[in-house]
Amino acid sequence: MRALAYFAPAILFLAAPAAAVDMVDSLNESCIFIQQRIKTEGELVIRFPSTMPPGLTLYDRYVENVGQCGSDEELEATNVPTRDGICHLKICQLDER
């Protein structure tokens, strides 16, 4: 019974739901829509088709600013295909300096 009292807080912590990050399919949305979602929510997971190799689906997390990055990461500009063309976004990447 005592062991349960020691482990109960850890079990409750592990069972707590993590904050969910929304995901969108880049080819179903406009660039403006995606940029606005990132601005509003701070981050967004985007699903998009791979060009190399073709046929694969890729996922990545895009952010509004460096505040969503880890202490060992920096912002890097990147592009994602959208319904209306190429969209310029930001992503967290490991700082290799």
pLDDT, tens digit only, all 97 positions of the chain = 444 444 444 444 444 445 667 899 999 999 999 999 999 999 999 999 998 888 899 999 999 999 999 999 999 999 999 999 999 999 999 988 7
Pairing of the two strands 43-51 and 23-25: parallel
Q: Specify the pLDDT at position 19.
A: 60
Instruction: Quote the CA–CA distance of 33 and 86 in Å, as a whole number.
Output: 13
pLDDT at site 65: 96
> Residue ranges per domain, the chain?
19-94
Question: How far is residue 74 CA from its own chain's centroid?
Answer: 14
